[in-house]
Amino acid sequence: MDISLVTAEILGVYLIVSGLFLIFRGKTIPHLLKDFFGHPAIVYLTGIILIFLSVLLLIQNNIWDGTWRTVITIFAWLVFLKGLAYIFIPGTLQKMVSKKIFGELNLYGLVAVIAGLFLFYLG
């Protein structure tokens, strides 16, 4: 099986589950983020894990041909940048999360579910 198809299915399931969580349990996000950023070692380890996983994806699937495979490459680069941010600028990330974002979690969840269904369907 092509690595792009497997990656599309994995990202699709992740986005569907994350989107449903935002829709149904989004009110718990502020508490989760407060606890998460309160533990610098966990933030650092999360950054390392995100970098590791995104580099694995980029080594296998760094495709810029304008097809759906490019979407996976963009996701991998975004995850890589997020991992770097967790390591080098966690305070800035914490400040970027505002109450304005919390009011629109249902919309973000819906977008995530739709994107996840699209990627899962492609896989």
Task: Dump pLDDT digits (tens) for 58-69.
Answer: 998 888 998 888
pLDDT at 1: 53
Taking 50 as the pLDDT cut, the residues of the chain under it are none
Percent of the chain with pLDDT over 70: 97
Q: What is the pLDDT of residues 2-17, one digit of tens each?
A: 888 888 898 899 999 9
Q: What is the pLDDT of residue 103?
A: 73
Under DSSP, the state recorded for 15 is H
Instruction: Write down the pLDDT at residue 101.
Output: 73
d(C-alpha 39, C-alpha 7), whole Å: 30
Q: What angle is formed at CA 80 by the lines to CA 89 and CA 37, rounded to 5 degrees? A: 40
Q: In terms of residues, how long is the chain? A: 123
CB 85 within 8 A of CB 92: yes
